[in-house]
Structure 1
Amino acid sequence: MKKNIWSTYSEPQLSELNSISEKYKKCLDEGKTERECVELAVRMASQAGYRDLNEIAASGEKLKAGDKVYAVCMKKMIVLFRIGTRPISEGMNILGAHIDSPRIDVKQNPLYENEGLAYLDTHYYGGIKKYQWVAQPLSLHGVVVKKDGTTENVSIGEEENDPVFVITDLLVHLAQEQMEKKASKVIEGEKLDLLIGNRPVDQAAEELAEGDDAAKTKETVKANVLRLLKEKYGMEEEDFTSAELEIVPAGKARDCGLDRSMILSYGQDDRVCAFTSLFAMLDVEEAEKTGCCLLVDKEEIGSVGATGMHSRFFENTVAELVAATEGESDLKVRRALANSRMLSSDVSAAYDPMFAEAFEKRSSAFFANGITFNKFTGSRGKSGSNDANAEYIAALRRAMDEDNVAHQFAELGRVDLGGGGTIAYITANYGMEVIDSGVAVLSMHAPYEVASKADIYEAYKGYKTFLRKL
């Protein structure tokens, strides 16, 4: 294990580290869903002088070195560019991360009443240990889009005076049979329904809701929930079918440890890499090659769909960028992608001495050892992996050392035990140089994950170095 880097920092560096950590925590609090992350990124980018690429393309304006633009896909995916002095067809330096995180989604026909309790039916998203999500305060985030096209933003459970929600667990006094089950079966997917109400609609409100099916069938608790939704959001029950509502842990990102050396929060996979990439992108002002920060959706379920990395959004946006700088040319678009270098900025598993048997210590990432590089990911025999070239790794090592960026190389656990995937192999299909890099975390995919402030700081520094020097 390398030296703990906390002891290497000067007072100015510690001040910058703390500033980055506080900024990062605020972003975690504001960006608990991919939509919220994109909205936040657009706001920050606009304040830094970035403009909407779609508006520029529509006007026919040409871009030049120093110009800063962004493009958004379906409010869940965003890419930012800062035009360099070299032609884009000579390649870009790309920071790519994902902004979706494991969670629980609300189904399209979710609201029901059972024995005087109102619930929302759910479907979990991504790889989770289902038993971790019960018996803790949860919040509800998302959008409700009505037939007339109006959109209602939903965020319940984050403010001090907000109600919160919960998924109940069986009391230990009656749990003898439950506790004999495998961990994967202790709580099953259809048992992850969200408890949202118990109070029946009062008589006056019931009379006003004579046309309401729930009131007619005497599902009075459900009727009361629908009444409250109508008052707050102008929402009918059928509007759930065109809603995207996500259930996430309630509460803010917090300092962790008596020494405040770590951060405990929901969603650090992969927003710890996404936000530090965004910070680096907005802070780097001068570079020869065009810099790019790509924040994508759907990585946790295979990077599929229109807002996942498998979509053509990034490729199409690069085509618009080439057209606005060098003129329309399919060949130059292909050259731009093939000549690029990318950091697939995703988290790695931090060595956990409480579960040492799951790791191979010599090839593990450690807290406060800096940004982590994974030459390959995948599982077992490197299945599904991108495997970075040695020449590219050497160039990265040289750049990081020149800028005194602490870094480490690691694998994700023991060889035969498991593994993980990122977006690296998808962008590698263009022929570009790609390697996974990011922050090591503890309790990955749990409702609350832990990261070292020192590693967050080194990731930010490393991403800036990459944009400037590679």
Structure 2
Amino acid sequence: MSQASCDTFNQTLCEFLAAAVTPFHAVQAMASMLQEAGFQRLQEARNWQLAAGGKYYLTRNDSSLVAFVVGSEAGPGQGMRMVGAHTDSPCLMVKPQPEKVRQGYYQLGVEVYGGVLLNPWFDRDLSLAGRVSYADSSGVMQTALVNFQRPIAFIPSLAIHLDREVNQHRSVNPQTDILPILTQLQSDDKPDFRSLLAGQLRSEHTGIDVDRVLDYELSFYDTQVAAPVGLNGEFIASARLDNLLSCFTGLQALLAADGSQSSLLICNDHEEVGSLSTAGAQGPLLRSVLRRIAGGDEASYAALTDSSMMISADNAHGIHPNFADRHDDNHGPKLNAGPVIKINANQRYATNSETAGLYRLLAAVEDVPVQAFVVRTDMACGSTIGPITAGGTGIRTLDIGVPTFGMHSIRELAGSRDAWDLSRVLRRFYNHSGPLFAVAD
């Protein structure tokens, strides 16, 4: 492994994580990288004219993205090498009528999105970002992204003197305990959150015509940026590693692939809340794209899906040194010891012996170590877009991920080598010539 290449990869990863503060901003950043690499943007409502060797991408809802290459040597009928990830992360989202004034403090009501670890959200410098719908002076609805960037909010802990049992019994009521404080108000001030947003839009977008804000999808985020940590920089600490790390890793692999084989990357929104949406993995996005790539012909579509494979990349649980008993004795993935094949007999992960075996072959070629994860038999198992994609398309699927600590916390931890190693194997997967699996007689 080239340490310089790994360091460059991680530096770019940290820059991406700093920009991708919401799914909308993540898609915007990925689209920019694709355009710089010569990918042509497609519109779903228009006819597609695809050519061998062509590179294309599209977005849906501004929060999901599909990028694909029509192979210069092997067309989609010979199989599509696919990688999937998700753009969303657990967070606190602003309610439609959020203004709260308590004890002279201007606060915003928030709704919990996904399975958030709530305690780490206290005592952090928070900013706000997302998508805003607004009316211009002509009465036409427009949309724009917004990002305050600077710390504008804080959720203070209750002092231990007022809660002596906090270190033994700390629970968080999401309705009453986690309202961020924005500012202090004078007695006659009347907060208007939509006016605040309108002013921020005008500040961010030169010349924008905002008559009034209609609605929004906004989430708070930690302003502390991604960074290497550890005595020797062994780790990367950041918000949203689950699962923007996989989005970035898959994207870098696609950009580095030679384009000879038909390849695809899909990054879906809404995985953390079940994936059932127009932009989620339970929606029609991937199936629609594959049918259009196949030309709408049923036989071509069947041939494409039968000869293809999806690698669902989503972070795995590294074995925590303080809580090692939460893992099966033989399945405790370590950070910086290689990507993790995720297996579950009850199909919470979509891995089978064929897809796992192919990944192990590709990893061996790249000299990348491989780990395996199976949840303790007496514990419930999470899931990914893998089983959803496999069930919705019939495509063979592998679930894999980079081992991580603190998953769903406001700040997570991953190894500094693992994402780079995964990207190398995914690039090999994209370049793999010939059938992915043996063809039955």
Same fold per superposition (TM over 0.5):
yes
Contact 2:42 2:48 in 1 (8 A): no
What is the distance in 2 between the residues matched to 1:73 and 1:264? 29
Amino-acid identity (%): 24
Picking from 63, 87, 90, the partner of 1:102 is: 90
Picking from 254, 264, 268, the partner of 1:292 is: 264
Give the alignment of 1:350-429 within 5 angstroms: 350-376=318-344, 382-383=345-346, 385-411=348-374, 413-429=375-391
Structure 2: where are the runs of 5+ without partners? 204-210, 437-441
Deviation string, structure 1 residues 239-289 (Cα, Å, up to 9, x no partner): 66611111111121011112112110000001111101000001102333x
For residues 222 and 391 of structure 1, do their structure 2 counterparts lie closer, same or farther at Cα, with a shift above 3 Å needed? closer
For residues 319 and 219 of structure 1, do their structure 2 counterparts lie closer, same or farther at Cα, with a shift above 3 Å needed? farther
Contact 1:339 1:431 in 2 (8 A): no
For residues 286 and 120 of structure 1, do their structure 2 counterparts lie closer, same or farther at Cα, with a shift above 3 Å needed? same
Once the 2 structures are TM-superposed, how far is the Cα of residue 33 of structure 1 from its aligned partner?
0.9
Contact 2:39 2:57 in 1 (8 A): yes
For residues 169 and 18 of structure 1, do their structure 2 counterparts lie closer, same or farther at Cα, with a shift above 3 Å needed? same
Contact 2:114 2:273 in 1 (8 A): yes
1:168 aligns to what? 156
Aligned to 1:242, the other structure's residue is in SS state strand
What is the distance in 1 between the residues matched to 2:219 and 2:201? 17
Check if 1:70 corresponds to 2:57.
Answer: yes
2:22 aligns to what? 33
For residues 233 and 64 of structure 1, do their structure 2 counterparts lie closer, same or farther at Cα, with a shift above 3 Å needed? closer
1:139 aligns to what? 127
What is the distance in 1 between the residues matched to 2:159 and 2:53? 61
Contact 1:351 1:361 in 2 (8 A): no
1:24 aligns to what? 13
What is the distance in 1 between the residues matched to 2:396 and 2:200? 50
Number of aligned residue pairs: 421
2:298 is matched by which residue type in structure 1? D
Give the alignment of 1:101-250 within 5 angstroms: 101-147=89-135, 148-156=140-148, 158=149, 162-176=150-164, 181=169, 183=170, 185-200=171-186, 219-220=188-189, 222=191, 228-233=196-201, 242-250=215-223
Deviation string, structure 1 residues 206-264 (Cα, Å, up to 9, x no partner): xxxxxxxxxxxx651526x67655544469xx966611111111121011112112110
What is the distance in 2 between the residues matched to 1:59 and 1:384? 37
More deviation in 275-284 or 422-431? 422-431
What is the distance in 2 between the residues matched to 1:141 and 1:153? 8
1:214 aligns to what? none
2:67 aligns to what? 80
What is the distance in 2 between the residues matched to 1:220 and 1:383? 56
Length-normalised TM-score, structure 2:
0.89
Deviation string, structure 1 residues 94-152 (Cα, Å, up to 9, x no partner): 00001101111001111122221111110011111222211211110112211332334
Contact 2:151 2:223 in 1 (8 A): no
Bigger Rg, structure 1 or 2: 1
Contact 1:439 1:451 in 2 (8 A): yes
Once the 2 structures are TM-superposed, how far is the Cα of residue 421 of structure 1 from its aligned partner?
0.6
2:34 aligns to what? 45
Check if 1:342 corresponds to 2:310.
Answer: yes
What is the distance in 1 between the residues matched to 2:146 and 2:363? 42
Root-mean-square deviation (Å) = 2.3
For residues 60 and 443 of structure 1, do their structure 2 counterparts lie closer, same or farther at Cα, with a shift above 3 Å needed? closer
Contact 2:107 2:179 in 1 (8 A): yes
What is the distance in 1 between the residues matched to 2:62 and 2:91? 18
Aligned to 1:122, the other structure's residue is in SS state strand
1:336 is matched by which residue type in structure 2? L
What is the distance in 1 between the residues matched to 2:93 and 2:197? 18
1:273 is matched by which residue type in structure 2? S
Once the 2 structures are TM-superposed, how far is the Cα of residue 356 of structure 1 from its aligned partner?
1.0
Which has the larger helix fraction? 1
1:396 is matched by which residue type in structure 2? Y
Deviation string, structure 1 residues 167-187 (Cα, Å, up to 9, x no partner): 222111111365564x4x334
1:449 aligns to what? 412
Contact 1:373 1:410 in 2 (8 A): yes
What is the distance in 2 between the residues matched to 1:425 and 1:228? 42
2:400 aligns to what? 437
Aligned to 1:419, the other structure's residue is in SS state coil
What is the distance in 1 between the residues matched to 2:361 and 2:182? 55
Contact 1:140 1:245 in 2 (8 A): yes
Structure 1: where are the runs of 5+ without partners? 1-8, 201-217, 377-381
Contact 2:24 2:145 in 1 (8 A): no
What is the distance in 1 between the residues matched to 2:59 and 2:174? 36
